[in-house]
Amino acid sequence: MTTKHRAMTRRNVAVALAALAVLGLAGCGKKEEGVVKIGHAGPLTGSIAHLGKDNENGVRLALEEANATGIDIGGNKVKFELLSEDDQADPKQGTIVAQKLVDAKVAGVIGHLNSGTTIPASKLYHDAGIAQISPSATNVTYTAQNFKTAFRVIANDAQQGKVLGEFATSKLGAKNIAIIDDRSAYGQGLADEFEKAATAGGATILAREFTDTTKTDFTAILTSIKGKNPDLIFYGGMDAQAGPMMKQIQNLGLAAKYLAGDGVQTAEFLKLAADAAEGVYASSPGVPLDNMPQGPAFAEKYKAKFNQEIQIYAPYAYDAMNAMLEAMKKAGSTDPAKYLPELANIQYQGVTGNIAFDEKGDIKGGGISLYQAKGGKWEYIETIGG
């Protein structure tokens, strides 16, 4: 009964929307703004679904707050509706859901989560003239395409990889380094930037090994690395692989330091690797939640609403959404063509810090923070840049 009922209401909403659209056309210029659709895309199934859901929650929280306070854009009361799509972290699926969002005529998109899905999808949003803010895609290419519609609220891989490479050579004193990446746009991009910075810092790269995002067995490549005796292993990839990988490193008796990027700096990694996580270094773009201007308050709000801990990017997704809403308010319109110039020049004080974009759409002054796992917690070391 309930499903039938729900389907009915959904159909009613669709009919209402269609009617609105017709009215809007009939009004000719006097555009009626009732429900405005906002798109979110990220992996809601598959091995990093926990991160996709985390982003969706951030966007949802921002929109529900906006709806609750009754947002006013250009003199019209506006109600926002979230269309959340599952891109399965798959580039192919990413363009399919992007097309779906474009067809649904969303006013803006927060997403995608992975660089691999964000980059191909950004072309579709660009062609449709829809603003896109990624809360977590860090691959350099995304904002290097000269798209006026593409923004991100997180420091990119070039910045992060460079900081990691310098940290490895100068702070950790690594001389012989082995690099593993997961062949994703994110992992490979980060590993490439790390390799450049580490080599520039005087380290030798002993091995460059590869895995992928479906694997849980890394013993073969780890054994090969063990034979070369590095003093540091760098991993460009996500927590789902790094967790079991750390356990296998421990089982093999491989005594190298372990350094990774933001995909590993998660609560999930600490759970997956358990006591093997001890001593692992990882970075995260931005500043720690506790050091964010409104971090602790946001964490509390998030927990109260969704009854779970923040994974990583929820505050960024929340800020991205709010920055977009702010631009809409300033422009007095939810039409991307009208609010895009405002978004490009936005100055918005968010949870993660000040949101402002450079001419490419990258966040201005995005800091990178470094952490070490100690006693089942990520212990903050320092923030570089920002």
Partner 1 sequence: MDIFLQQVLNGLVLGSVYALVALGYTMVYGILGLINFAHGDVVMVGALTALSVIATLVTAGLGLPAPVILLLALAVSVSVCMALGFTIERVAYRPLRRAPRLAPLITAIGVSILLQTLAMMYWGRRYHTFPQIIKPTRHEFLGAAITDVQILIVLMSALIMGGLLMLVHFTRLGRAMRATSENQLVAGLMGVNINRIISATFVIGSALAAVAGVLVSANYGVAQYTMGFMLGLKAFTAAVLGGIGNLGGAMLGGLLLGLIESIGAGYMGDLTGGFLGSHYQDVLAFVVLIGVLVLRPTGLLGERVAERT
Minimal distance, residue 171 CB to partner 1, in Å? 28
Nearer to partner 1, 58 or 366 (CB): 58
Q: Is 252 in the site for partner 1 (CB under 8 A)?
A: yes
For residue 251, what are its two tokens? Answer: 């089982």
Contact 99, 59 (CB under 8 A): no
Q: Is 219 in the site for partner 1 (CB under 8 A)?
A: yes
Whole-angstrom CA distances from 299 to 58, 148, 305, 311 are 11, 32, 10, 10
Beta bridge partners of 380: 371
Q: Among 96, 207, 356, 381, which residue sits at the site for partner 1 (rule: CB under 8 A)?
A: 207
Region 268-297 residues binding partner 1, contact defined as CB under 8 A? 268, 271-275
Binding mask 52-71 for partner 1 (x = CB under 8 A): -x------------------
Q: Among 244, 288, 293, 386, which residue sits at the site for partner 1 (rule: CB under 8 A)?
A: 244
Q: Among 81, 209, 231, 335, which residue sits at the site for partner 1 (rule: CB under 8 A)?
A: 209
Q: How far separated are the first and last CA of the chain, in Å rounded?
A: 54
Minimal distance, residue 45 CB to partner 1, in Å? 6
CB neighbourhood size of 245 (10 A): 29
Q: Among 211, 265, 352, 369, which residue sits at the site for partner 1 (rule: CB under 8 A)?
A: 211
126-142 exposure pattern, b = at least 16 Cβ within 10 A, e = fewer: bebebbbbbbbbbbbeb
Minimal distance, residue 27 CB to partner 1, in Å? 44
Q: Among 112, 162, 226, 257, which residue sits at the site for partner 1 (rule: CB under 8 A)?
A: 226
CB neighbourhood size of 51 (10 A): 26
Q: Among 7, 12, 45, 297, which residue sits at the site for partner 1 (rule: CB under 8 A)?
A: 45
- How many whole angstroms from its chain centre is CA 223? 32
Nearer to partner 1, 14 or 220 (CB): 220
SS3 372: strand
Helix axes 314-331, 49-69, angle to 10 degrees: 40
Query: Nearest CA to 133 among 322, 384, 353, 351?
Result: 322
Q: Among 212, 358, 379, 382, which residue sits at the site for partner 1 (rule: CB under 8 A)?
A: 212
In the complex, which residues of this chain contact partner 1 (CB under 8 A)? 44-47, 49-50, 53, 183, 207-212, 214-217, 219-221, 223-224, 226-227, 240, 243-244, 247-248, 250-253, 268, 271-275
